Amino acid sequence: MSRKPNIAIVGATGMVGTTFLKVLEERKFPYDKVYMLAAPEEDGDVVKFDGREYRVEGITDQSFDGKDIDIALFSAGGGPSEHLAPIATAHGILVVDNSSQWRMDPDVPLVVPEVNPQDALTAFDKKMIIANPNCSTIQAMVVLKPLQDKYGLKRVVYSTYQAVSGSGVKGTHELAEGMKGNDLCVAYPHPIAGNCLPHIDVFEENGYTKEEMKMIDETHKILGDDNIAVTATTVRVPVFDSHSESINIELKTPFEVEDVKKLFASSPGLVLQDDPANNVYPLARSAAGTDEVYVGRVRRDFSIENGLNLWCVADNIRKGAATNTVQIAQLVIDRVTA
């Protein structure tokens, strides 16, 4: 029987890091030792996990020395990940990284467990890093994969409505203050309360934002098909938690709407909520605090052949970040403890 792994949480005091701990507890993730690492200025802070209190260690280049860590769950941002992940892997540690730093590296698998679990195992033959996709990409992949397998995908158009928690604590604080009439405009260039901002991350030379390009590029990589035509518009909305997405899809082969609904109802990680007559469809408030991806408003797009419209919602901090990362760790636990 394999031993229990030793795990490290890098970024243990942040919004995603604390959710790592919550999800690990809820899923009864097996472990022997756990190490809490965070920014140097947080050295000595205390976090609670599994009924105990743990002292946080300010991370340095030497933080992985002598600890016999098997898996490190990173949520410390792209810069720290770029520097520290290779140091961790040099110690034989498998890194599951939540930043955007490694996602498009050809030697790093980009994994959604319901979609491409087999790709996670390739990390052991390459850089010992597995990348967690962008939050808005993750929930879309859970919906698109069963459609790809049954009908084929020709074109995908994303329109997202993304919660402020995607910007971390500063985003939620800014919305809370804005709702009181105090527009801070620190996390965002314009007030978020009462607004929809078609601007997530920086603008690139092609006119798209970096967030939109992440969705395009990550869709191709995760689904393993660069021939799918993909475009995206990503919008920050005054919602605290859970991202919502309208997805327009052109399938390669004909379909019946009821068959698509049955497919979704039987697909892992998906919950079908589609009863318009009774006002049943996925909602951000209902998805918050859960790990599933919810899909509804499933209907034919009559403007194109084999066109399909749908609406999907998921908690961006849980399934869009922490839960997906923990699920990846669960996929590879036997390999790291063998």
| Max CA pair span of the chain | 62
Cα 12 from Cα 6, distance rounded (Å): 15
The values of phi and psi at residue 308, to 5°, are: -140, 135
Rounded distance between C-alpha atoms, residue 58 and residue 237, angstroms: 34
HSE-up of 301 (CA within 13 Å, CB side)? Answer: 18
Contacts of 317 (CB under 8 A, 6+ apart): 15, 16, 19, 135, 165, 241
CA dihedral 60, 169, 204, 133 (to 10 degrees): 70
Instruction: Tell me the two tokens of residue 51.
Output: 């009924």
CA distance 178 to 185: 9
Mark out the alpha helices in the chain (DSSP H runs). Answer: 15-26, 78-90, 135-151, 169-179, 210-223, 257-265, 284-287, 323-337
Angle separating helix axes 15-26 and 323-337, nearest 10 degrees = 60
Q: Which of 4, 73, 3 is nearest to 37 (CA)?
A: 73
Token pair for residue 18?
């604390």
Sequence-separated contacts (24+) of 289-293 with Cβ below 8 Å: 289/241, 289/315, 289/318, 290/315, 290/318, 290/319, 291/23, 291/315, 291/318, 291/319, 291/323, 292/319, 293/139, 293/142, 293/143, 293/269, 293/319
**Hey, which residues are catalytic here?**
135, 243
First vs last Cα of the chain: how many Å apart? Answer: 9
